[in-house]
Amino acid sequence: MEEWILKANLNLIQKKMSKAEEYTSKISEELLQKLSPEESEKIEKRMLLAAKIDDALKAKGWKKKDFADSLSKQPSEITKWLSGTHNFTTDTLWDIERILGVELITLEERRKEQVISFHISVSKDAEIEAPMSCEQLFHGTSFTISSTWQKKLNKDQKRTNEIYQA
């Protein structure tokens, strides 16, 4: 029964992997390796920008068409913007900022957090009621167990030992 469930789960995982995820090509790998770190960074930033615009659209509950209408553009152009391949002009970015209410270009320099610290030492006399140390708490007190309870405890200990040995 367990084996059958395991096999079914494995099939499900395999089915979930799309063809695109499984696909590997020598050409694409070579192309990616040829990219300089600067180009990779540029691509990453474009993708992040597209993702930020997409998030803002979702937050507003807008579809591509609503966004295209508000900017007097074609929906196909919005699709290109959201693909992460488009090279935006600053004017377009400012229009997007205004319509979606998000910040895409930061002009003001962010001010760093300032830290100031003070120090003082003071002392105070006090009386402690019944001070007790850890030694007294954990090892200092002793108690006795009645003979019937002692027998029961011994029996339980024996059974526990048998289970462990088995």
Residues in the chain: 166
End-to-end CA distance of the chain: 27
- Residue 137 and residue 49: Cα distance in Å, rounded? 62
| C-alpha pair distances (Å), 19 with each of 15, 16, 23, 121 | 10, 9, 6, 67
106 binds other proteins (CB under 8 A): no
Taking the complex as a whole, how short is the minimal distance between the CB of residue 63 and other proteins, in angstroms?
Answer: 34
Instruction: Give the one residue of 19, 34, 119, 139 binding other proteins; rule: CB under 8 A.
Output: 119
**By the rule CB under 8 A, 27 interacts with other proteins:** no
- Binding-site member from 123, 141, 146, 148 for other proteins (CB under 8 A): 123
Q: What are phi and psi of 37, to 5 degrees?
A: -60, -35
Q: What's the CA gap between 73 and 96, in Å, rounded? A: 12
CB of 90 to other proteins, least distance (A): 23
Q: Is 23 in the site for other proteins (CB under 8 A)?
A: no
Provide the minimum distance between the beta carbon of 104 and other proteins in the complex, in angstroms, as a whole number: 18
Note the residues at the interface with other proteins (CB under 8 A): 110-111, 113-129, 131-137
